[in-house]
Amino acid sequence: MQPKVSKFGGTSVADADMIRKVKAIVDADADRRIVVPSAPGKRSKEDQKVTDLLYLCHEHARQKLPFDEVFTLIAQRYKDIAAGLGVDPGLNRHLNTVQESIARIASAGGGSDYAASRGEFLNGLIIAEFLEAEFIDAAELIFFDERGRLDEDKTYREIGERLKGVKRAVVPGFYGSLPDGETPGAIKTFSRGGSDITGAVLARGVGASLYENWTDVSGLLMADPRVVDNPKTIAELTYRELRELAYMGATVLHDEAIFPVRHAGIPVNIRNTNRPEDAGTMIVPGNGSEKHTGTITGIAGRKDFTVIAIEKAMMNAQIGFGRRVLSVLEDHGVSFEHLPSGIDTMSLVVADGQIDGKLDEVLEGLRVEVHPDSLEATPQMALIATVGRGMTHIPGMAAKLFGALSQADVNIRMIDQGSSELNIIVGVHAEDFETAMRAIYKVFVG
């Protein structure tokens, strides 16, 4: 049987009680042979994440300030966990090394990656002993090249060799090592939340049958629970749908974690460590043969967009019109999100973060470059994506969506259906965002 890779997020490994739940989960399935822990996360809303404290230690050390106090907090977290589980992987010795190395690296002008990575490293040592598993340092499995990109060849080769036939291994998430250079084996981390990526890379490297991502929610919800009351959990969705929903703000998995497993066609299961009885959300490759059920998969949205509408008669007949419009954005270093167009109209949807402080220059640039008949910028727009593979080829899906919005008195300012009916995006005024989300949810889900 191919192994399953089981990654546990920060809240799932925040203290001894949680790690006991992890053990029960791992023990319940013999295929769960590769376990990837995060650093201890928050135990309550007010609590601190160990990774944040480690960054703080590095920052103090860099500024040549003492960091013993912060480090004591970190050390205590691990001592409590180890004592609570009745294990000791030489913790004091490791803690001393970590503290000394943080000081040494910072005073030599090194970056914060080493410090940050120790959260996973120390937790991994403890969890490995508690699970009676082999501890394999991620620095020996995950490699970056000189430019800081994952060295795929070396990484997958090493993972394949080291993890082949392993009975049960714990590999800490979030980091790997840089090529031997001036600082041999220097540590580099992925971006924040990057243990998800470690799990995905390991899953691909061992050809896992499943990549389990254990967290504190029972999967991805059909809508943002801060907007829609009690939204249902998505039982199954394709990588493509996930990408569309994630782009629009639904978060459940680190963006970069999707690519390794998607490439290898390995399904991902989002599960809840506190409710292992819940099936969670399954993210599957999707082969185009899905049933067209007429239901949607999920709704997600984001505020803070500006739409620049350009109108010019006979735009469609002008060769190079689109290129000239986009060159204005390029000249000002602005990227765009969507580009819905009509016969004589073209709209540029731009995130406010991109255009803030540059809008007037961009509008002026467009006037000079394409002499539009009319040019209008609408700030404070929100985009809402309604996503669903089950919507394709079902007549009336769009009508249902627009009908629901009109009934709720929401003025639709923009529509972008993309090239498939998998995703219909509507632009509404930011004020109407919540009303629109609820109306769409209600008409499709109830």
Closest separation between CB of residue 194 and ligand ASP, Å? Answer: 5
- 10 is a contact residue toward ligand ASP (CB under 6 A): yes
SS3 for 127-195, per residue? HHHHHCCEECCHHHCCEECCCCCECHHHHHHHHHHHHCCCCCEECCCCEEECCCCCCCCCEEECCCCCH
Closest separation between CB of residue 51 and ligand ASP, Å? Answer: 4
Closest separation between CB of residue 351 and ligand ASP, Å? Answer: 23
Closest separation between CB of residue 215 and ligand ASP, Å? Answer: 10
Beta strands per DSSP E along 246-288: 268-272, 281-284
Instruction: Identify the DSSP state of 245.
Output: H
Nearer to ligand ASP, 38 or 347 (CB): 38
Closest separation between CB of residue 41 and ligand ASP, Å? Answer: 7
Closest separation between CB of residue 430 and ligand ASP, Å? Answer: 30
- Please return the burial class of 438, using the count of CB atoms within 10 Å of its CB with bins 0-12, 13-18 and 19+: middle
CB 62 within 8 A of CB 54: no
Closest separation between CB of residue 200 and ligand ASP, Å? Answer: 11
- 14 is a contact residue toward ligand ASP (CB under 6 A): no
Instruction: Return the exposure string of 382-407: e unless at least 16 CB atoms fall within 10 Å of the residue's CB, then b.
Output: bbbbbbbbbbeeeeebbebbbebbee
User: CB nearest ligand ASP: which residue?
Assistant: 195
Closest separation between CB of residue 406 and ligand ASP, Å? Answer: 43
- Please return the burial class of 116, using the count of CB atoms within 10 Å of its CB with bins 0-12, 13-18 and 19+: buried
- Please return the burial class of 378, using the count of CB atoms within 10 Å of its CB with bins 0-12, 13-18 and 19+: middle
CA 217 to centroid of chain Cα atoms: 15
Nearer to ligand ASP, 194 or 205 (CB): 194
Closest CA to 198 of 143, 157, 145: 143
Closest separation between CB of residue 45 and ligand ASP, Å? Answer: 16
- 114 is a contact residue toward ligand ASP (CB under 6 A): no
Nearer to ligand ASP, 115 or 163 (CB): 115
Q: Of the candidates 3, 37, 110, 119, which one interacts with ligand ASP according to CB under 6 A?
A: 119
> Would the CA dihedral through 313, 317, 323, 327 be positive or negative?
negative
β-bridge partners, 215: 272
Nearer to ligand ASP, 3 or 10 (CB): 10
Using CB under 6 A as the criterion, what x/- string covers residues 168-197 for binding ligand ASP? Answer: -----xx-----------------xxxxx-
Total residues contacting ligand ASP (rule CB under 6 A)?
13
Nearer to ligand ASP, 120 or 416 (CB): 120
Nearer to ligand ASP, 215 or 269 (CB): 215
Using CB under 6 A as the criterion, what x/- string covers residues 32-71 for binding ligand ASP? Answer: ------xx---------x-x--------------------
Q: Which single residue is written with the structure tokens 């984001």?
A: 302
Closest CA to 413 of 441, 372, 383, 373: 383
Nearer to ligand ASP, 191 or 293 (CB): 191
Instruction: Identify the DSSP state of 347.
Output: E
Nearer to ligand ASP, 193 or 390 (CB): 193
CB 255 within 8 A of CB 246: yes
Report the distance separating Cα 159 and Cα 174, nearest Å: 15
Nearer to ligand ASP, 124 or 286 (CB): 124
Binding region for ligand ASP (CB under 6 A)? 10, 38-39, 49, 51, 119, 173-174, 192-196
